[in-house]
């Protein structure tokens, strides 16, 4: 990189260039992962695959852990909190600047030319005066009523607040990923249930068709199974749509620009009902010590306290020290002759102190203090609201987790009984000992029992995700 500086015919010294280069290097640049260029395109069609955020091409099975990892790398909402944290960190380091001296380099040139009227004003007797000065000045704030200290501490806790909000965004993202992933598995399993119902009625339709052709059963029996087969086919179509919608929701959370996931990369739904012995008070303790959003509100209160203290500092005096070192040269010309000032006087050096105490400024400091105190009171109320919300969230999630486990146990037992009943009635119907209405009811009960169990499995897994998020667990 090349820097070229030109000010008239002024040539910057090597030392000034060095100082400027060091300042640029210290400032540095903030680097971030660039967003895809396709965001600025008005068309979706024709976008190259390489310019999209998609799944790796060799992925055969998408696990929930893999989905979480991809979301961490791509979810825009979560990544934006990372940038917000970087900005808060930069503001914190900015707060150290008032502790350091301010160094300023300067150069100036002044020229004055006149022609006295006594000499005709024709330029023949003109006089010209030229002054050039350059130097470096240093200003150092010694005391400002501890305002810079309070501002620095406020920035410190604002940075901690941003860090906790970044963690909280990750907590909520992981919760959302788990729930969306579980809903995908539920939609897939409901397709399985609907297809099984269709196949059952199709099989009975084919068997009944043979009997009907032989005159052994009435037409109503044949139509019954055909109608129920069509109803099952309709449910398959509906569940496939739900499966597609659930996949797009998951893809969106994962930050994939095509908002789509293949349907053949998800495993089968499995029940996992582990013991649940921990008392609710243990979860409450974990939440109050771990929830990042609660920590963020606590940091906000502390930052507000330091801002109030900073406003008090405005009522105290300030003390500043300054040092100046430079060169000054004066030249003048009269009647074509140049005269130069004494070179021994070119250099100048000065130092001093400046103390100020603002006694009255229209009352603005008082109202700035009241404003900061009001914001502090507001932040405390928000903290109280968040505390109550966390406690309520844990209690509700705990109760939901407990009842989901109990319901799933019942649904598992009930499915075994309903499946056994349906099989028995099917045999009785084929033997002519049970009505078709009873068979329809038994098959309907089986579909309901399978759906209830499938739903309860996902509800239990979602309740685990909700409870983990409620206690502040970040995976």
Sequential pLDDT tens for the chain (475 residues): 333 333 333 343 455 445 555 555 555 677 777 776 767 777 776 666 555 667 777 778 999 999 999 999 999 999 999 999 999 999 999 999 999 999 999 998 888 777 665 555 555 556 677 888 889 999 999 999 999 999 999 999 999 999 999 999 999 999 999 999 999 999 999 999 999 999 999 999 999 999 999 998 999 999 999 999 999 999 999 999 999 999 999 999 999 988 889 999 999 999 887 777 789 999 999 999 999 999 999 999 999 999 999 999 999 999 999 999 988 777 766 555 555 544 445 788 899 999 999 999 999 999 999 999 999 999 999 999 999 999 999 999 999 999 999 999 999 999 999 999 999 999 999 998 999 999 999 999 999 999 999 999 999 999 999 999 999 998 7
Give the end-to-end CA distance of the chain in Å, rounded to a whole number.
Answer: 43
Structure letter (DSSP) for residue 166: H
- 224 alpha-carbon distance from chain centroid: 55
Backbone angles phi, psi at 131, to 5 degrees: -130, 130
E strand segments, 10-165:
102-114, 127-143
Q: Mapping DSSP to helix (H, G, I), strand (E, B) and coil, where does residue 55 land?
A: coil
Tokens representing 325 are 């070192």
Locate the domains of the chain by residue range: 55-95+146-316+362-470
Contacts of 161 (CB under 8 A, 6+ apart): 88, 296, 299, 300, 303
* Closest C-alpha among 308, 311, 317, 306 to residue 143: 317
Q: What's the pTM? A: 0.85
CATH architecture of 55-95+146-316+362-470: Up-down Bundle (1.20)
* Tokens standing for residue 256: 């994939």
């Amino acid at each position: 990189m090349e820097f070229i500086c030109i000010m008239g015919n002024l040539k910057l010294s090597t030392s000034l260039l060095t100082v400027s280069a060091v300042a640029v290097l210290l400032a540095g640049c903030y680097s971030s992962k660039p967003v895809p260029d396709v965001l600025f395109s008005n068309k979706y069609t024709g976008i190259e695959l390489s310019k999209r955020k998609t799944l790796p091409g060799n992925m055969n099975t998408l696990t929930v852990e893999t989905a979480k990892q991809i979301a961490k790398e791509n979810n825009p909402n979560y990544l934006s909190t990372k940038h917000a944290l970087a900005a808060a960190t930069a503001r914190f380091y900015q707060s150290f600047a008032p502790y350091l001296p301010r160094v300023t380099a300067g150069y100036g040139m002044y020229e004055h030319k006149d022609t006295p009227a006594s000499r005709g004003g024709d330029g023949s007797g003109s006089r010209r005066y030229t002054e050039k000065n350059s130097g470096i000045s240093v200003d150092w704030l010694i005391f400002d009523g501890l305002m810079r200290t309070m501002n620095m501490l406020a920035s410190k806790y604002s940075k901690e607040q941003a860090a906790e909000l970044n963690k909280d965004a990750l907590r909520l993202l992981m919760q959302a990923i788990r729930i969306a992933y579980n809903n995908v598995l539920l939609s897939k399993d409901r397709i399985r249930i609907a297809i099984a119902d269709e196949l059952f009625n199709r099989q009975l339709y084919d068997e009944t068709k043979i009997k009907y052709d032989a005159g052994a059963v009435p037409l109503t029996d044949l139509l019954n199974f055909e109608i129920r087969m069509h109803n099952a086919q309709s449910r398959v179509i509906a569940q496939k749509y739900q499966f597609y919608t659930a996949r797009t929701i998951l893809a969106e959370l994962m930050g994939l620009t095509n908002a789509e996931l293949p349907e053949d990369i998800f495993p089968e739904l499995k029940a996992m009902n582990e013991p649940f012995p921990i008392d609710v008070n243990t979860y409450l303790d974990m939440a109050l010590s771990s929830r990042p959003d609660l920590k963020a509100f606590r940091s906000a209160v502390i930052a507000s306290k330091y801002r109030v203290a900073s406003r008090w500092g405005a009522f105290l005096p300030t003390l500043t020290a300054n040092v100046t070192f430079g060169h000054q040269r004066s030249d003048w010309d009269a009647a074509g002759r140049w005269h130069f000032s004494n070179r021994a006087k070119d250099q100048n050096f000065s130092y001093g102190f400046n103390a100020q105490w603002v006694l009255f400024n229209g009352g603005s400091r008082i109202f700035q203090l009241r404003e900061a105190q009001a914001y502090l009171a507001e932040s405390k109320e928000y903290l109280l609201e968040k505390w109550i919300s966390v406690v309520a969230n844990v209690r509700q999630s705990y109760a939901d987790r407990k009842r989901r486990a109990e319901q799933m146990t019942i649904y598992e037992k009930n499915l075994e009984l309903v499946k056994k009943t349906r099989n028995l009635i099917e045999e009785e119907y084929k033997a002519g000992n049970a009505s078709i209405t009873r068979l329809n009811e038994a098959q309907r009960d089986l579909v309901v029992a399978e759906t209830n169990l499938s739903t309860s499995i996902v509800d239990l897994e979602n309740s685990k995700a909700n409870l983990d998020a409620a206690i502040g667990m970040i995976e």
